[in-house]
Amino acid sequence: MIETLDGPFDLTLSLQAAASFYPGDEPGGRTLRAAIRSSAGPAAITIEQVNRTPPRLAVSAARAVEAAALRRVARRLVAADLDLRPFYRLTQKHPVLGPIAASLPGLKPLQPASLFEAAVIAITEQQLSMAAAYRIRSRIVRRFGEPVEDLLLFPTPQTIAEAPDQVLADCGLSRQKLRYLKTLALRIASHDLDLEAMRELADDEIRACLIENPGLGRWSVEHILLRGFARPSGLPSGDVSLQKVVGFYLGQGLPLSAAELERALCPLRPFHGLAAFYLSVAYRRRAQLDPRRA
DNA sequence: TACCAGGTAAAAA
DNA sequence: TTTTTACATGGT
């Protein structure tokens, strides 16, 4: 099936950007493949861009997945509801974001298939380097994920809730993070918490619900907002790497405090989180182009 | 080797 | 109320 999106989108660029956050893994490529759950069971979905403007995506699954469900998942993976046009209008005259946004047309933060996965990503990435967190997640997925074609389906909250502590610890989780993950998984599995239902809520309502969970602090909530809910206001201002990047582009070159970072991006509200994402990607591409400048 | 890396909650002050 | 500490892995 073909799905047309509102506003600019570049799948290849977005895949590249996603891969740039995990050095040493994932080649990027032109095709987005993901394992999803459907009413017909686990399935592998393939998304390719077949037209630039307007953006058209060819979406397919080997298994017979109901068209409406396939469309819904595909739109979620590419953050289809995040329209970049108002963001580009807003940044157009900004001395720094203007040129950067113009150099990354159609870039979006690609989303995991589920909000549970987004939450697990946030928790594993707390404090650790992205590479270390990625290895830990890979071990969890290899141990508990379901194979679908050549992919692995991310484990369900139920599976994680029932997983032996020792096995999760052997994947590299600290006892503390193990507790966060278990608590979250258990709450979801027991229908005490419904992350997916929160997609209907306003940004601040999502923040309020997420922060209730042990293990999800300010940083994680903002991270999940941008990278799981595709909300452009999600800005983890306590993030050490962001403080460095935003200081580089919008400050004196030195890392900013959380308060300074928020002040620097304030004019770009309500797209301040997306703006920070663009700066991060620009910074990484710059470093990749010329490692001496990193 | 030692240190830091896209934090959080609980303890201590 | 604010500051300090334990936590676990991987890259430099």
pTM of the model: 0.96
Residues A197 and A114: beta-carbon distance below 8 Å: no
A110 domain residue, yes or no: no
Residues A165 and A174: beta-carbon distance below 8 Å: no
Whether the per-residue pLDDT at A25 is higher than 80: the answer is no
Whether the per-residue pLDDT at A204 is higher than 50: the answer is yes
**How distant is C1' of C4 from CA of A23, in Å?**
32
* Whole-number Å distance between alpha carbons of A154 and A147: 9
Last residue of a domain, one of A227, A258, A284: A227
Q: Which residue is nearest to nucleotide C10 (CA to C1')?
A: A132
Whether the per-residue pLDDT at A71 is higher than 70: the answer is yes
A191 domain residue, yes or no: yes
Confidence of residue A12 (pLDDT cuts 50, 70, 90): very high
Range of the domain at A98: 88-102+232-294
**How distant is C1' of C11 from CA of A103, in Å?**
30
- Give the closest nucleotide to A242 (alpha carbon vs C1'): B6
Q: What is the 3-state composition of chain A as percent helix, strand, coil, each rounded to the nearest 5?
A: 55, 10, 35
Confidence of residue A19 (pLDDT cuts 50, 70, 90): very high
Residues lying close to strand B (Cβ under 7 A), chosen from 158-177 of chain A, are 176
Q: How many domains does chain A have?
A: 3
Positions on chain B within 7 A of a protein C-beta: 4-10
A265 domain residue, yes or no: yes
| Residue A178 Cβ < 7 Å to strand C | yes
Q: Are residues A72 and A97 in the same domain?
A: no
Positions on chain C within 7 A of a protein C-beta: 6-12
